[in-house]
Amino acid sequence: MTALLEMQGIRKRFGELVALDGVDLSVEERDVHALLGENGAGKSTLMNVLYGLYAPDGGRILLRGEDARIGGPRDAIARGIGMIHQHFMLIPPLTVTENVVLGDERTGALLDRRVIRERVRELQSRFGIEVDPDARVEDLPLGLQQRVEILKVLYRGSDLLVFDEPTAVLTPQEVDELFAIVRTLREQGKTVILITHKLREVFAVTDRITVLRLGRNAGSLVTSATTAGEIARLMVGRELRELRPRATAGSRDVVLEVTGLGALSDRGTPALLDVGLTVHAGEVLGIAGIGGNGQSELAECIMGLRRPTAGDMRIGGADVSRDGPRRTRAGGVCYVPEDRRREGLVLAFTVADNLILGKQAGPPYATFGVLDPQVIEREGALLAREFDVRPPNPLAIAGNLSGGNQQKVVLGRELSSSPRLIVVSQPSRGLDIAATEYVHDRLLEQRARGAAILLISSELDEIRALSDRIAVMYEGRIVATLPAAEATEERLGLLMAGHESAGAA
Amino acid sequence: MSGGAPTATGPGPGGPAPSVRQPAMQWATGPAVPVISVIVALLLGAVFVAATGNDPIAAYAALARGAFGTPYDITETLVSAIPLVLTGLSVAVAFRTGLFNIGAEGQLLVGALAAGAVGARFAELPGPLLMPLVILAGILAGAGYGAIAGVLKAARGVNEVITTIMLNYIVVFVMHWLLQSGPMTAPSALGTPASARIGDGAILPVILPNELVPLSRLHAGILLAALAVAVFWFLLWRTSLGYELRAVGLGARAAAQAGIDPARRMALVMAIAGAFAGLAGMIQVSGVFQRVFDGFSSGYGFDAIAVALLGKNSPLGIVAAALLFGAFAHGGAIMQSNAGISSHLVSIIQALVLFVIAAEAIVRGIAGRSRRGRKPVEAIA
Amino acid sequence: MTVDMVIGASVLAATLRLAAPILLAALGGVISERAGVVNIALEGSMLVGAFVGIVAAEQTDSIVIGVAAAIIAGTLLAGIHAIAAIHWRSDQIVSGMALNILALGLTSYLNFQLYGTTGTPADVPDLPTVADQSILVWVSLALVPLTHLFLFGTVSGLRLRAVGEHPRAAETVGIGVRRVRYAAVLASGALAGLGGAYLSLSVAHSFTDGMTAGRGFIGLAAVIFGKWSPIGALVAALLFGYGNALSTSLQGATIGDTRVPVQLLGTLPYLLTILAVAGFVGRSRPPAADGVPYEKEGH
């Protein structure tokens, strides 16, 4: 039996960067196939090639054994390939029905709303996908929006459905419902490719696995005949790093104390509910959780970037609930934001200019509002060298540095002022292993110095490697706080999935 | 004119759209691209002149002679360039903060009205008292008018392109009223509604002696313009505030998390932009016309957009671009009377310059550089 | 000041007459911006429409050819904007500004070249009138429900709105974003060109330099004040036209001893639009991708 899909020797480069270096992928009909790999392994690029969004620089694609040239999404759709994008490709002000049929309306020039609604209803009952066909997409929660995406693909008669990291924005319950839908799809004769980097999902729903690493094939596996350890080794290309031994936390002085904190998200929905936590000097408190459970809002509240709607925040005993970012920072708090390219740096500025961001108004960089370029450049050169920014040129444009070196610039700026509280969000996202280790070492150095660190990360490895205590966030609440020693991966996983009872064990 | 924060399902372009409004990021340093823009525009203009049955070489020769042919012409070119320098600075300072000030024209008119009103109302005051008063009136009025768009942007997130376009028209109608039947109406010898003449103390003196360049109108406003260029440079590159403005322009979110409130800086920069344009209006009143009248500005505020873009929002670039456009303005008028070719040829060339700059990708191609695309890392993530 | 000056038949007739060109430009603006392209060159399209309309009508002695030529001229100018905004991903405001200056320069230059200082000939054919209004007034009104039906009741309209809200999503379901945007921008130029023809052929019976005098921008204001909908644009155009009619009708009128400052009525469209975008007169929200250049991925 030939495979439904064969991708052979696919190459794709973006300028200097080789994203795919001769990747193969073979998917059997009626399988759920996992495409696994770390961030930047090339999973999404490969699927964008399949869907015709990227033109490959080499390789070929076979569908049911026949050569398929896919010049764009239109070709892909015509050949029965459907994509459920990670960032939903929906038009918010249009209705569910309109979104489903868009581009393939089949109603003549005039839009016959009744006919298309009926067609969508039919599809829904066949695949057991429930969502109000007349609702406007912008009014739906993300889990339901994803169903609209699935309906879109099914409406176009796709036999091969590609899910690009579908669970990233879902609640655990929504994930279960999604997997139920995926199983129904398989029963109805569809083939599914699931892009993910979460092992739990691989074992929950897939039949076969292809692992990519750094733009190349790292292995092909049958799910029922492998282990989490084997997959993880293929993904990272080495044994998982041992947790490093370290001294117990120093003093017990409370630096940050948050009680009853509440806040709204950008969309005006509750993002934080009665959040309480403390961080001591010389301690790392890790905040674990699936992205989008209120972690970003928590960091923003502490930094004064988001107004709390309830509760109280104290730093070193002083109430900071109403402080803006300037006052918060003046009180010895620093921040390594999640999105370093947009929040951490002004990419068009030089390294030296980035290193004074937030410190531009006072000595030693300015007197009475007048800048001293010599001091800025001299200090910039010093910090760039101290934090191993490469090249160590203070006049280099930040946007031209690699991700790891950009993060070093952020760290250099934030950590050089000897803060007493450091709020860090996803500090190693998108970084290679060496840069990640560098970042971790620097943070532990600050901990040893006596700084209190609030570490927000969706990478469990990172949380467990650095934290003294671990708090788990779920749907805007802290559902448990555990000492690191008691926080096994399994227990954290359960808590992150909303099983609160795991915390009490 | 998109507004509001993108929602989870909204379009998620990986950052702000590429735009010529932020040359610091988009354009390599050096004058290659602007120079090419002007050359391309002149060539297209020549084709057009030939196509309409005229001699392009004769036309350009007449234009150049008109602008630089005699010492007098040179001083007239300078007189035309002065308001363009200031409105160019106005547009550029806003661009540097990530805002598009299309309102320089309106801000200039408000500044002129204020200067004209103060200059006429206190006409009896001696120069050392009156002149600072008139300068201040022009600057403050322009700043206040610019601030409207800035505050609306800061407080209500209103797109400044829309507000400044609207504000330009509002001031025109207010001006009609003021000069036709309102409090500033004065008997006019101009044949068009105009205000009363300002006092002698409010007049910027001609700085070239008549023996040197007979009849020259080159006035002390050129010194004010030079001072404004220096202020622009110092403000943006040597002060904390200027750093903050540029940071907001190039990375508003990064600035915000570092404690720089983008909304406040945006409100402030529109006032600063308005101040430059208001000063331009004041200079036109005090240095050239001695009064305000209907049709007072010949579109300096709109030409300013081309001046700022052509000058890449840098101080010297703006001066160079303003001189070029000043030469066009004065030379064009002479060309029409001497060579019989409509002075509107100049508008066509200016429009082409602006258009070619807007089509940056094309110019880059000509300049032999590859277009700077999205960062590869971003494309994969 | 009398009641007749405010709501008399002549004022209402003038309102329609003055609203029509604003409405045509505004409908063009609605279509273009709904597809995600800001076209501030509507003013320029109107101006070249006005000029070419007169020249063509005068040369051929045919009003039909005059109107058709005006539409084509407006479309061509918009075509340049489309290439800049869509193909080259130029800054749409800068490109639009440039084209407005170009239109003013071109028409004035050619007007000088063709007619010198004497002005355009007065013997151009006239447009037919229906119920004392130019036929184009009725055409502009009829275009309101048609545009509404197109945007909200047809497949093409659905696709156009999708492109203006989220072009990448539209692209992923096989909609040609560029094609839709080209079509929308060209249509906006055609409508503005028709508005220009109305001004020169029906109202002024001549062309003078810069005769559109910002009507394209009032049309833009009507788009925003009308919340990017055809019916909203109609309401806005009528309101702005009424303000315009009033300022003529109240010329020289007095309340008590004070002369009515009619010139200030001219600020009405702009003031109202600012209040509308600022959310003081109901929030006016543009299509999400309005004015944002679209770049295909990975090619």
Q: How many folded domains does chain B comprise?
A: 1
Question: What percent of chain B lies above the pLDDT cut of 90?
Answer: 67
B149 domain residue, yes or no:
yes
Chain C from 82 to 121: CB within 8 A of any B CB: 84, 88-91, 93-95, 97-102, 104-106, 108-110, 112-113
Q: Which residues contact C89 (CB under 8 A, 6 or more apart)?
A: B17, B18, B361, C293, C294, C295
How much is the ipTM here?
0.86
CB within 8 Å: A111 and C158: yes
A58 domain residue, yes or no:
yes
Residues of C in Cβ contact (< 8 Å) with A51: 172
Q: How many folded domains does chain A comprise?
A: 3
B85 domain residue, yes or no:
yes
User: HSE-up of C285 (CA within 13 Å, CB side)?
Assistant: 8
Q: Is the pLDDT of residue C172 over 90?
A: no
Mean pLDDT to the nearest integer, A173-187: 90
CB within 8 Å: C172 and A102: no
Q: B359 vs chain A: nearest CA distance in angstroms?
A: 21
Q: Is the pLDDT of residue B29 over 60?
A: no
A20 and A135 housed in the same domain: yes
Q: Which of A418, A451, A476 is the last residue of a domain?
A: A418
The overall average pLDDT reported for chain B is 86
Chain B from 153 to 212: CB within 8 A of any C CB: 156, 158-159, 161-163, 165-167, 169-170, 172-174, 176-177, 180-182
Residues of A in Cβ contact (< 8 Å) with B236: none
Residues of B in Cβ contact (< 8 Å) with A360: 240, 243-244, 247
Kindly report, residue by residue over C195-205, the tens digit of the pLDDT.
999 999 999 89
**Whole-prediction pTM value?**
0.86
Q: Is the pLDDT of residue B140 over 60?
A: yes
Mean pLDDT to the nearest integer, C6-35: 93
A340 domain residue, yes or no:
no
Q: Is the pLDDT of residue A39 over 80?
A: no
A367 domain residue, yes or no:
yes
Determine which of A102, A117, A146 to mutate to test the interface with C (most C C-beta atoms within 10 Å): A102
Kindly report, residue by residue over B267-304, the tens digit of the pLDDT.
999 999 999 999 999 999 999 999 999 888 888 988 99
Q: Is the pLDDT of residue B54 over 60?
A: yes
Which of A35-44, A329-338, B98-107 has the lowest average pLDDT? A35-44
The boundaries of the domain holding residue A125 are: 5-236
A299 and A181 housed in the same domain: no
Residue in C154, C162, C297 closest to A102 by CB: C162
Chain B within 8 Å of A138 (Cβ-Cβ)? Answer: yes
Report which of residues C280 and C53 the model is more confident about.
C53
A314 domain residue, yes or no:
yes
Enter the tokens of residue C226. Answer: 């009308």
Task: From B100, B251, B248, select the one nearest A348 (Cα to Cα).
Answer: B251
Residue in B255, B259, B377 closest to A324 by CB: B259
Determine which of A111, A156, A158 to mutate to test the interface with C (most C C-beta atoms within 10 Å): A111
CA distances from C229 to A305, B5, B259, C293 (A): 36, 22, 40, 22
Residues of C in Cβ contact (< 8 Å) with B18: 89, 293
Model pLDDT, residue B368: 45
Question: What percent of chain A lies above the pLDDT cut of 90?
Answer: 62
A228 and A275 housed in the same domain: no
B247 domain residue, yes or no:
yes
Nearest 5°: phi and psi at A90? -120, 155
DSSP percent split of chain C into helix, strand, coil, nearest 5:
70, 5, 25
Q: Is the pLDDT of residue B102 over 90?
A: yes
Mean pLDDT to the nearest integer, B353-377: 57
Nearest 5°: phi and psi at C154? -125, 160
Chain B from 274 to 333: CB within 8 A of any C CB: 302, 305-306, 309
B166 domain residue, yes or no:
yes
Question: What percent of chain B lies above the pLDDT cut of 70?
Answer: 86
Chain B within 8 Å of A407 (Cβ-Cβ)? Answer: no
Using CB atoms within 10 Å of the CB of residue A152, give its burial: 0 to 12 exposed, 13 to 18 middle, 19+ buried.
buried
Kindly report, residue by residue over C146-159, the tens digit of the pLDDT.
999 999 999 999 99
Determine which of B161, B165, B175 to mutate to test the interface with C (most C C-beta atoms within 10 Å): B165
Chain A interface residues (partner C, CB cutoff 8 A): 12, 14, 48, 51, 53-55, 72-74, 77, 83, 85, 88-94, 98, 102-105, 107-111, 152, 156
C283 pLDDT band (50/70/90 cuts)? Answer: low
Chain A from 419 to 458: CB within 8 A of any B CB: 430
Chain B within 8 Å of A342 (Cβ-Cβ)? Answer: yes
B116 domain residue, yes or no:
yes
Model pLDDT, residue A387: 93
Distance CA B268, CA B266 (A): 5
A449 and A393 housed in the same domain: no
Instruction: Give yes or no for a contact between B344 and C105, defined as CB atoms under 8 angstroms apart.
Output: yes
Q: B201 vs chain C: nearest CA distance in angstroms?
A: 32
Q: C150 vs chain B: nearest CA distance in angstroms?
A: 23
A247 pLDDT band (50/70/90 cuts)? Answer: low
Task: Report DSSP letters for A428-447, one per residue.
Answer: TTT--HHHHHHHHHHHHHHH
Q: A244 vs chain C: nearest CA distance in angstroms?
A: 41
Determine which of C87, C88, C109 to mutate to test the interface with B (most B C-beta atoms within 10 Å): C109
Model pLDDT, residue A390: 86
Chain B within 8 Å of C278 (Cβ-Cβ)? Answer: yes
Enter the tokens of residue A155. Answer: 């409406």
Residues of C in Cβ contact (< 8 Å) with A53: 172, 297-298
- List all chains that touch chain B, counting a touch as 3 or more CB pairs closer than 8 Å: A, C
Burial profile A341-366: b = 16 or more Cβ within 10 angstroms, e = fewer = bbbbbbbbbbbbbbbbbbbbbeeebb
Residue in C158, C165, C171 closest to A73 by CB: C171
Kindly report, residue by residue over A212-233, the tens digit of the pLDDT.
988 999 999 999 998 877 887 7
The overall average pLDDT reported for chain A is 88
Model pLDDT, residue B380: 27
Q: By CA distance, what is B249's nearest residue in A?
A: A346
Chain B within 8 Å of A37 (Cβ-Cβ)? Answer: no
Q: Is the pLDDT of residue A396 over 80?
A: yes
Model pLDDT, residue B100: 93
Q: Is the pLDDT of residue A286 over 50?
A: yes
One-letter-per-residue 3-state SS of chain B: CCCCCCCCCCCCCCCCCCCCCCHHHHCCCCCHHHHHHHHHHHHHHHHHHHHCCCCHHHHHHHHHHHHHCCHHHHHHHHHHHHHHHHHHHHHHHHHHCCCCCCCHHHHHHHHHHHHHHHHHHCCCCCHHHHHHHHHHHHHHHHHHHHHHHHHHHHHHCCCHHHHHHHHHHHHHHHHHHHHHCCCCCECCCCCCCECCCCCHHHCCCECCCCCCCCCCCCECHHHHHHHHHHHHHHHHHHEHHHHHHHHHHHCHHHHHHCCCCHHHHHHHHHHHHHHHHHHHHHHHHHHHHCCCECCCCCCHHHHHHHHHHHCCCCHHHHHHHHHHHHHHHHHHHHHHHHHCCCCHHHHHHHHHHHHHHHCHHHHHHHCCCCCCCCCHHHHHC
Distance CA B258, CA A336 (A): 10
Model pLDDT, residue C281: 62
A338 domain residue, yes or no:
no
Q: Which of A397, A418, A439 is the last residue of a domain?
A: A418
User: HSE-up of B121 (CA within 13 Å, CB side)?
Assistant: 12
Chain B within 8 Å of A99 (Cβ-Cβ)? Answer: no
A138 and A217 housed in the same domain: yes
Report which of residues C266 and C139 the model is more confident about.
C139
Model pLDDT, residue A87: 80
Residues of C in Cβ contact (< 8 Å) with A83: 172
Chain B within 8 Å of C179 (Cβ-Cβ)? Answer: no
Q: How far is CA B93 from the centre of its chain?
A: 10
Which of A4-13, A149-158, A356-365, B358-367 has the lowest average pLDDT? B358-367
Model pLDDT, residue C141: 97
CB within 8 Å: C292 and B21: no
Q: Which of A358, A388, A418 is the last residue of a domain?
A: A418
- List all chains that touch chain A, counting a touch as 3 or more CB pairs closer than 8 Å: B, C
Model pLDDT, residue A36: 87
Model pLDDT, residue B11: 30
A337 domain residue, yes or no:
no
CB within 8 Å: A105 and C155: yes
Kindly report, residue by residue over B181-232, the tens digit of the pLDDT.
888 888 776 678 889 899 999 999 999 888 888 889 999 999 999 999 999 9
A262 and A285 housed in the same domain: yes
Chain B from 231 to 270: CB within 8 A of any C CB: none
B12 pLDDT band (50/70/90 cuts)? Answer: very low
Radius of gyration of the CA atoms of chain A, in A: 25
Q: Is the pLDDT of residue B375 over 60?
A: no
The boundaries of the domain holding residue B288 are: 81-311
A431 and A411 housed in the same domain: no
Q: C283 vs chain A: nearest CA distance in angstroms?
A: 16
B367 pLDDT band (50/70/90 cuts)? Answer: low
Mean pLDDT to the nearest integer, A23-42: 89
Mean pLDDT to the nearest integer, C90-108: 92
A17 and A32 housed in the same domain: yes
Residue in A137, A349, A371 closest to B238 by CB: A371
Task: From C30, C39, C26, select the one nearest C94 (Cα to Cα).
Answer: C39
Model pLDDT, residue B32: 76
CB within 8 Å: A142 and B8: yes
Model pLDDT, residue B24: 39
Instruction: Give yes or no for a contact between C159 and C175, defined as CB atoms under 8 angstroms apart.
Output: yes
Burial profile A380-412: b = 16 or more Cβ within 10 angstroms, e = fewer = bbebbeebebeebebebbbbebebbbbbbbbbb
Distance CA C114, CA C116 (A): 6
CB within 8 Å: C155 and A107: yes
Q: By CA distance, what is C173's nearest residue in A?
A: A103
A117 and A22 housed in the same domain: yes
A393 and A423 housed in the same domain: no
Kindly report, residue by residue over A70-114, the tens digit of the pLDDT.
988 888 988 999 999 878 889 999 999 999 999 989 888 999 999
B13 pLDDT band (50/70/90 cuts)? Answer: very low
Name all domains of chain C by residue range, CATH numbers in brackets.
3-277 (1.10.3470)
Task: Report DSSP letters for A224-282, one per residue.
Answer: GG--HHHHHHHHHTSPPPPPPP-PPP----EEEEEEEEEEE-TTSSEEEEEEEEEEETT
B353 domain residue, yes or no:
no
Model pLDDT, residue B181: 82
Distance CA C115, CA B120 (A): 42
**Orientation of helix B71-96 relative to helix B315-339, angle to 10°:** 140
Using CB atoms within 10 Å of the CB of residue C135, give its burial: 0 to 12 exposed, 13 to 18 middle, 19+ buried.
middle
A478 domain residue, yes or no:
yes
Q: B295 vs chain C: nearest CA distance in angstroms?
A: 12
Q: Is the pLDDT of residue C299 over 60?
A: no
Q: By CA distance, what is C117's nearest residue in B?
A: B342
Mean pLDDT to the nearest integer, C261-265: 86
Which of A305-309, A336-340, B182-186, C67-71 has the lowest average pLDDT? B182-186
A306 domain residue, yes or no:
yes
